[in-house]
Amino acid sequence: MPEKPLLEVVDLKKHFPIGNKKEGRAVKAVDGVSFSINEGKTFGLVGESGCGKTTTGKCILRIHTPTAGQIIYDGADIATMDDRELSPIRREIQLIFQDPYGSLDPRQSIGSILKEAISADHKRHSKIEINERIRELLEMVELSFEMKDRYPHELSGGQRQRLGIARALACKPRLIVCDEPVSALDVSIQAQIINLFRTLQQKLGLTYLFIAHDLAVVKHIADDIGVMYLGTLVEKMNASVFHERPLHPYTQALLSAVPTTNYDVERKRTRIVLDGEVPSPVHAPSGCPFHPRCRYATAKCREEKPQLRRIADNHDVACHYVFENLNKGGC
């Protein structure tokens, strides 16, 4: 029996109007994104800065109201729900921020920050119950209970991010949107936080949308990966296929820039350098959004936008010539 997705995003769009309303101009931050995440799994969303990753996450959290599309959480479409309907769902979908210091109130102690999150369910909690829950949360993220009287500025970057994770867990979530949660940390600390995410997922059955630009980080945590470019998904695949058989020219270019410690592999690799800059989402190119930078672009690419097509089991690509390139052994 197939697993039921906890989250399904269907043709999600988020356009931000700019200038005079009569002109009808808009920043198409997210322009038709679709993916799903099964319960207890991790979907990695990757791409260059400005591609729409964070806006996608904010739409799922309903920080932004989508322009169009569906966000089906646990069988219910939350894209059009009002605040009253969303209230019980908001605790189940939590966010972990990129900047662990900027997301914490410097005037509150660790204990006060966690107490506030625990008490947000509007239920009566005794002081003993709150202290026990604070102890439990700190132990989950491998912090000492004695640290509850400290303030954020007294913690290291890794400790602050652990506190951010504990605050999210205080709401007993099922889905956590992780927005670049390790990009501000040292590499050695990144590994510790990634291992913590995996441990918590196994222990609590958590589901993650993991947003990142570091492909090496995503490789170690994601079950499935989606590659975004200019507000659209250009490739979606199982993580095991991601590094072995990328088929979209943009995905191949991204992976060619990831360093490897294997000398033989590195010596044989060819760096794919993309020409030009990412186009403005205000004046997005016609046809395929990647065609101005693609070395394989044709007239068809400039005129007709490709749709995500299934080319193998759990592997979708938005490219007109993916089957031709596949027959040739890759792009």
Q: Which residue has the tokens 């007109």?
A: 320
What is the spatial distance between Cα 96 and Cα 117, in angstroms, rounded to a whole number? Answer: 13
Phi, psi for residue 297 in degrees, rounded to 5: -65, 140
Residues 76-103: pLDDT tens digits?
999 999 989 998 899 999 999 888 788 8
CA angle 41, 76, 2 (to 5 degrees): 45
pLDDT given for residue 221 in this prediction? 93
Residues 116-143: pLDDT tens digits?
999 888 788 889 999 999 999 999 999 9
What is the spatial distance between Cα 210 and Cα 56, in angstroms, rounded to a whole number? Answer: 11
> Within the chain, how many helices (H) and strands (E) appear?
12, 12
Residues 247-289: pLDDT tens digits?
999 998 888 877 676 656 666 667 777 877 788 888 888 999 9
Q: How far is CA 258 from CA 74, 202, 225, 243, 270, in A?
A: 36, 28, 16, 10, 11
SS3 state of residue 294: coil
Q: Whole-prediction pTM value?
A: 0.91
We find that the CATH architecture of domain 5-92+173-327 is 3-Layer(aba) Sandwich (3.40)
Domain ranges, ordered by start, for the chain: 5-92+173-327, 108-172
To 10 degrees, what angle do helices 110-118 and 127-140 make?
Answer: 110
- What integer is the mean pLDDT of 293-321? 91
What is the spatial distance between Cα 233 and Cα 236, in angstroms, rounded to a whole number? Answer: 7
* Partners of residue 31 on adjacent β-strands: 13
